[in-house]
């Protein structure tokens, strides 16, 4: 499966944004494959996933739990242990530099500076016995060689920027003294410490109540605008993606099944899985006894082939879906689907 970059960008060649070095895309992932060695065989977590992201844009990556979204983000930063992980692909280019072939030293230089990441659970992202302020500023001391006093001053500024009250006093507090929403803000401050050009946000609102979710998303978008930063927002919540992203990539069983602008995908979904996710969103204008759901279960990633992995759960499937190779194809400018019968989806 491969989503060509031209299908990930709806702008014409002359209109495409370039970064300061003249690179067409800030992030260009070309046929990324991630497998995990297990006693039972290879778990194919990502299968030839391609995605492009322009400078200053917000791109959503959506899909249910276990589809490979977090693995994709960690593979970009080479945070997966090898073994058991096997990372392959044509390239993962950041500002023209291939991260797959970069040295470990170079990857460490990029992490926490040019590339930042927000992990799913702030409680597990923070050391429980280390002051929060010191954790937020660790990258400044490591990468920018800041002295303790200078790093502390910068840390107070970062905590202020993400909306932490009384940041000077709270700098020395520990994670157990903070609420979940405040901890998520601290994790955002940690990711923003190096002023990254690209931020990977992996389910940044998980386990937060709706009000705090809205505040965190608003904070991320405000920081993106002020810093002119690119944002890859990972979520299983289609409503969150609709509110925040310019473009959307839908992932299922380790592959991209649909890509396009947010407007195109939400107005005219062309893959049954995307449609199923959208039907599951509750609507204030409708009163229903039971929310719609997608029948069945995702496939075991030990036993996936080139045919459509969604076929057993699909109401539009034909005999061909069980045997023919499925590829992501452009069905209209800037909108691609990995469905043999996109015209049936409505």
In this prediction, residues 30-39 reach a mean pLDDT of: 95
Residue 134 above 60 pLDDT?
Answer: yes
The span from the CA of 159 to the CA of 164, in Å, is 5
Q: What is the DSSP secondary-structure string of 114-150? A: TEEEE-S-HHHHS-TTS-HHHHHTHHHHHHS---HHH
What is the DSSP code string of 168-214?
Answer: HHHTT--GGGS-HHHHHHHHHHHHHTT--SEEEEESTTTT--HHHHH
Query: Is residue 175 in some structural domain?
Result: no
Tokens matching residue 172: 């020395």
Average the pLDDT over 54-77 and give the result: 94
User: Are 163 and 125 contacting, i.e. CB atoms less than 8 angstroms apart?
Assistant: no
Could you tell me which of 185, 338, 229, 212 has the C-alpha nearest to residue 274? 338
Q: Residue 138 corresponds to which tokens in the numbers above?
A: 């660790």
In this structure, is residue 251 part of a structural domain? yes
The owner of tokens 């895309």 is: 25
Q: Establish if 192 belongs to a structural domain.
A: no
pLDDT of residue 5: 60
Neighbouring C-beta atoms of residue 271, cutoff 10 Å: 27
Measure the CA–CA gap between 7 and 231, rounded to whole angstroms.
19
| Spatial separation of the C-alpha atoms in residues 318 and 9, rounded to whole Å | 30
Asked, for residue 141, whether it belongs to a domain, the answer is: no
Q: How many domains does the chain have?
A: 1
Q: Is 122 contained in some domain?
A: no
From 250, 301, 277, 282, select the one nearest 47 (Cα to Cα): 301
Task: Please determine, for residue 139, whether its predicted confidence score (pLDDT) is greater than 50.
Answer: yes
Q: Which among 95, 93, 90, 91 has a CA at the least distance from the CA of 26?
A: 95
Mean pLDDT of the residues in the chain: 89
Q: Is residue 224 part of a domain?
A: no
Lowest-pLDDT range of 12-21, 31-40, 179-188, 204-213? 12-21
**In this predicted model, what pLDDT tens digit does every residue of 163-191 receive, in sequence order?**
999 999 999 999 999 998 999 999 999 99
Please say if the pLDDT value at position 323 is more than 80: yes
Within its chain, how far is the Cα of 256 from the centroid?
13
CATH of residue 326: 3.40.50.300
Q: Does 324 fall in a domain? A: yes
Please say whether the beta carbons of 21 and 95 come within 8 A.
yes
Tell me what percent of the residues of the chain surpass a pLDDT of 90.
Answer: 73
Residue linked to tokens 């260009």: 28
Q: Are 159 and 152 in contact (CB under 8 A)?
A: no
Which residue, among 91, 138, 87, 146, has the nearest Cα to 116 in the 3D structure? 138
Q: Is the pLDDT of residue 237 over 70?
A: yes
What's the whole-model pTM score? 0.88
Instruction: Indicate the Cα dihedral angle 204, 286, 274, 320, nearest 10°.
Output: 150
* Residue 21 lies in domain: 5-104+197-204+239-283+291-344
Query: Six-digit token pair at 134?
Result: 């010191």
Look at residue 223 and tell me if it is in a domain.
Answer: no
């Amino acid at each position: 499966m491969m989503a060509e970059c031209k299908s990930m960008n709806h702008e014409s060649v002359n209109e495409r944004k370039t970064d300061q070095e003249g690179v067409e895309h800030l992030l260009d992932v070309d046929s990324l494959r991630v497998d995990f060695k297990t006693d039972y065989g290879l778990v194919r977590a990502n299968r030839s996933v391609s995605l492009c992201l322009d400078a200053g844009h917000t791109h959503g990556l959506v899909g249910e739990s276990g589809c490979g979204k977090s693995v994709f983000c960690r593979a970009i930063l080479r945070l997966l242990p090898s073994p058991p992980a096997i990372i392959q692909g044509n390239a993962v280019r950041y500002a023209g530099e291939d991260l797959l072939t970069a040295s470990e030293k170079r990857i460490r230089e990029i992490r926490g500076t040019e590339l930042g990441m927000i992990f799913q659970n702030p409680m597990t992202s923070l050391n429980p016995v280390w002051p929060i302020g010191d954790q937020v500023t660790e990258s400044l001391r490591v990468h920018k060689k800041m002295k303790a006093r200078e790093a502390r001053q910068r840390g107070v500024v970062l905590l202020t920027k993400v909306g932490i009250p009384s940041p000077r006093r709270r700098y020395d507090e520990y994670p157990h003294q903070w609420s979940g929403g405040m901890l998520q803000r601290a994790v955002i401050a940690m990711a923003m410490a190096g002023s990254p050009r690209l931020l990977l946000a992996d389910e940044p609102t998980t386990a937060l109540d709706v009000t705090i979710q809205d505040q965190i998303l608003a904070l991320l978008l405000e920081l993106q605008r002020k810093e002119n930063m690119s944002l890859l927002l990972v979520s299983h919540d289609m409503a969150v993606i609709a509110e925040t992203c310019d473009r959307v990539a839908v992932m299922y069983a380790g592959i991209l099944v649909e890509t396009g602008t947010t407007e195109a995908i939400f107005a005219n979904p062309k893959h049954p899985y995307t449609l199923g996710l959208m039907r599951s969103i509750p609507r204030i204008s409708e009163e229903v006894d039971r929310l719609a759901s997608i029948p069945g279960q995702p496939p075991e990633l030990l036993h996936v082939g080139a045919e459509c992995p969604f076929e057993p759960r699909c109401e539009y499937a034909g005999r061909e879906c069980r045997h023919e190779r499925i590829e992501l194809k452009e069905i209209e400018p800037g909108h691609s689907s990995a469905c043999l019968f996109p015209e049936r989806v409505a």
